[in-house]
Amino acid sequence: MTLKERISELFDKYSVQLEVEEKQEVKFAVATLDSGQEIQTEADSFAVGASVFVVNDEGEQIPLPDGDYTLADGSMLVVAEGAITEVKEAEAAVEAEEDKEEEMSEEPKEVEASSEVLTREEVAGMIAEAIEATKAEFSSQIEERDAKITELSKQAAPAISRVKQPKKVEKVDLSKLTVKERVRALSNQFNS
């Protein structure tokens, strides 16, 4: 039984039906801080009481930490517990502020909803393709490793001598030595 068939069996056993839910259109007001970071709110504009957040690389909304923030147009937002508590207008002339409001792009962005529905067979096919790609990647890595092992096993290992070479012992005529000299000569002979 293939993996694809097993997954299909599990889907049937637990009555799993995969469908893509249509997402509602959500409009966000977007502004840029003077540091260049983009912030958003689900309200139509940055007003007192609106929750304000930053969107990370994974698309998660993270509440903006408490503090005072200066926008690119010079106005300031005071944020506490992820919500705007005060909006301070820029000190520059009102005319300059109107020009920069266009740059701040507080116009709501529309998020498109996906209406594509995937069938069970399509999902099972996608899973099988992913598994096959992973198998191919791992098998190529294993082949590379095996080639390295074969290459290293063909190399000759350096000869290592673990046996001490005996020292050459001179023969001594013990009959010509005193008792002390004989003892030293014999002990040197056995310690070598």
Q: How confident is the model at residue 143 (pLDDT cuts 50, 70, 90)?
A: very high
Give me the sheet containing 61-63, strands edge to edge.
Answer: 61-63, 52-55, 38-41, 27-32, 109-110
Average of pLDDT values for 88-117?
A: 56
- pTM of the complete model beyond 0.95: no
> Which residues are CB-neighbours of 191 under 8 A, at least 6 positions away?
none
- Are the beta carbons of 51 and 42 closer than 8 angstroms? yes
- Are the beta carbons of 192 and 166 closer than 8 angstroms? yes
Helix (H/G/I), strand (E/B), else coil: 74: coil
- Residue 103 is predicted with a pLDDT of 56
- pLDDT value at 99 more than 70: no
Closest CA to 110 of 189, 25, 15: 25
> Which residues are CB-neighbours of 11 under 8 A, at least 6 positions away?
17, 18, 120, 124
d(CA 126, CA 120): 10
- pLDDT value at 93 more than 60: no
How long a stretch of residues is the chain?
A: 192
